Amino acid sequence: MIIQLKEDISEKQKQSLIQEVNEIGYKVTEVKTQLGDYLIGIGKKAFDIRKIGHKDGIKDIHIVSDEYKLVSKKWKAKPTSIDLGDGVFIKDGDMAIIAGPCSIESEEQIHKVVGHLKANGIRMMRGGVFKPRTSPYAFRGMGIDGLKLWYSIAKEQGIKIVTEVMQVSQIEEMYPYTDIYQVGARNTQNFNLLDELGKVDKAVMIKRGISGTIEELLQSAEYVFSGGNEKLILCERGIRTYEKASRNTLDLNAVPILKSKSHLPVIVDPSHGIGIREFVPQMALAGVMAGADGIIYETHEVPEKAYSDGQQTLDFAQSALLADWIRKTFAMRKSFDLL
């Protein structure tokens, strides 16, 4: 059960309401986000919600059977829109394009990528400054100094930053220089990290775990929402299966399923999803047609010289073509919606 509270509810009214819900047999958790106040009631006893729905201070009340309550579409039918400022959105009915290198490598590289994005009308740049690498000897990013440098260059050109946060201690130092915190596949069930991201007023994109189910991804998002942050984005980036022909198996089934289960926007990452450069465009366009609200992919001036993931990274010419194809494919998808 989700009870949406009115903005002007008094503390006395709230406590009276909590007591009444407890007496029905439901355990109550209060959730306060940057957009609203909620009471989450957990219990199995059936009752008529009209019994309490008329109480002072209640804006609305919903029965939600899903284990994940706040990210469920069963109580919030209107899709969530993520406003990053300066006219940059990630939302239903639009097509967000996020592109950039796997790793932020140098000031020269940042300038070149930002210039490429600007020339192609792409307003969001991905890149890692803290890199989780399988080998401890691989390049692991430029750290917070690299993020500060990147931010100063990107902000001047109106480019928003999407970058991975790996641990709780990084959240605060990254905050002034980040527009979207990315939770990588390895950290999708790092619940301490998710709890802390629930306390920040900044967008969070959660990637599906390497072997994670759709429900586990939604539960991860529930952690952040219940911590107080409604600015959430889900990302399908491929899962590990027994198939060895590609880096991962991009589960495009997840896109319409997530859209049917949750009000949160859904992004597809074809670069990690297939891991093979020549097939990234096809999978990106398939993601668009599957119903995604955006595509995030990797691009580098010379992928063969990239410090990481060059085999799945597009060069600038390929990236420019893909951005154009994404927009045209999205326009085609919208025309189908009108039929």
Specify the pLDDT at position 338. 66
- Sign of the dihedral through C-alpha 18, 262, 219, 130: negative
Q: Are 103 and 139 in contact (CB under 8 A)?
A: yes
Residue 134 phi, psi dihedral angles, 5° rounding: -60, -40
pLDDT of 19: 92
Residues facing 88 on adjacent strands: 85
What 3-state class would DSSP assign to 268? strand
* 8 Å CB contact between 330 and 92: no
Distances (CA, A) of 221 to 68, 179, 203, 277: 8, 18, 12, 30
pLDDT in tens, the chain (339 residues): 899 999 999 999 999 999 999 998 999 999 999 999 999 999 888 888 888 888 889 999 998 989 999 999 999 989 999 999 999 999 999 999 999 999 999 999 999 999 999 999 999 999 999 977 767 767 778 999 999 999 999 999 999 999 999 999 999 999 999 999 999 999 999 999 999 999 999 999 999 999 999 999 999 999 999 999 999 999 999 999 999 999 999 999 999 999 999 999 999 999 999 999 999 999 999 999 999 999 999 999 999 999 999 999 999 999 999 999 999 999 999 998 765
Nearest to 193 by CA among 207, 183, 179: 183
